[in-house]
Amino acid sequence: MQPYRSVLFVPAHKTSWFAKAIDAGPDAVCFDLEDSVPEHLKAGAREQVAEAVAAYSQSHPALGLFVRPNSLGTRLTGLDLEAAVVPGLTGVFAPKVDSALDVVRYDALLDHFEARAGVTGLEYIIPVETIHGIQNCEEIAAASERVGAMIGPTAEHADIAKAVGFEWTPEGLESMVHRTKILLATRAVDRHPLTALWERIHDLDGLRDFSIRSRRMGFRGQIVLHPSHVPVVNAVYTPDAEQIAFYRGLLETYEAAAARGDGAVMYGEVHVDKAHADKATEWLARVDTLASLNGGLPSA
């Protein structure tokens, strides 16, 4: 999966919001057919998702396009995917996954609807929203090649708060244990680690602090609820110019030393060897990948 920094949610029946969401510059959007859509509007929303995916996959080819269907327990998942799996769709935001078996159930549905639509390569973003999901996160992460990302959640009012029973704080210490467990599960099988969720729409300073703390934990992107959050989140998860210059200089210094036959060298105050050079190489490649995403590299 691409290393999406920002995945912006949009209610699938709010078509007038689609363009504003795209214009905010997220790396990906997720059209929500689940909780944000009233029952009597779900059928129409399915068709609107299909139309939006067809249009935006052409106009914004670097934009990730996901759909969140209703969960397997509702018996609406098949109807949602039958309509939404069309050429241009990137993947499925798969809710309420409790175990590897649930991933297999999603796989069976997608195998069918991909074949019908002539689509291949759909991926999952899996939000860990339940106690069983937390307990089984390692097997969920490894259950299918379609699993591209998982979310280590902390939210004031979302499903995870009810499931765990924590009392939310901006600092997030109450969710540190389960978020770390999910983060390590993604790293073990090379999945993209995302986090969520900052629900206080107008508190951009709080959002920035939350995003920085999450990045320092090891997360590389997050779910966002409002277009105004996108530039903040993209900036936090993008290395700044000073960091880029540091790693480029480190790599150049090491390569020059290696050419002289030296396996280690000082770079400023830092002792540098092959491990440092390998990290710099990987780190700079990530910057190049971020530049190719829909959000691009934020302006300095």
DSSP 240-257: -HHHHHHHHHHHHHHHHH
Q: Are strands 270-272 and 265-267 parallel, antiparallel or unpaired?
A: antiparallel
98: annotated binding-site residue? no
**What's the CATH fold of domain 6-236?**
TIM Barrel (3.20.20)
Q: Which residue type does 19 have?
A: A
- The token pair that represents 282 in the structure block: 């990987």
Q: Is residue 266 packed enough to be buried (19+ CB in 10 Å), middle (13-18) or exposed (0-12)?
A: exposed
- The token pair that represents 217 in the structure block: 């934990």
Q: Are strands 28-32 and 64-68 parallel, antiparallel or unpaired?
A: parallel
Residue 199 clears pLDDT 70, i.e. is over it:
yes
129: annotated binding-site residue? yes
> Domain spans of the chain?
6-236, 241-292
**What pLDDT shows up at residue 283?**
86
pLDDT band at 300 (very low <50, low <70, confident <90, very high): low
Q: Are strands 147-153 and 192-196 parallel, antiparallel or unpaired?
A: parallel
Average pLDDT on 185-195 reads 98
User: Does the global pTM surpass 0.85?
Assistant: yes
- The token pair that represents 224 in the structure block: 């966002």
159: annotated binding-site residue? yes
From CA 15, how far away is CA 2, in angstroms rounded?
26
- Closest by CA to 148, choosing from 296, 293, 3, is 3
**What pLDDT shows up at residue 290?**
95
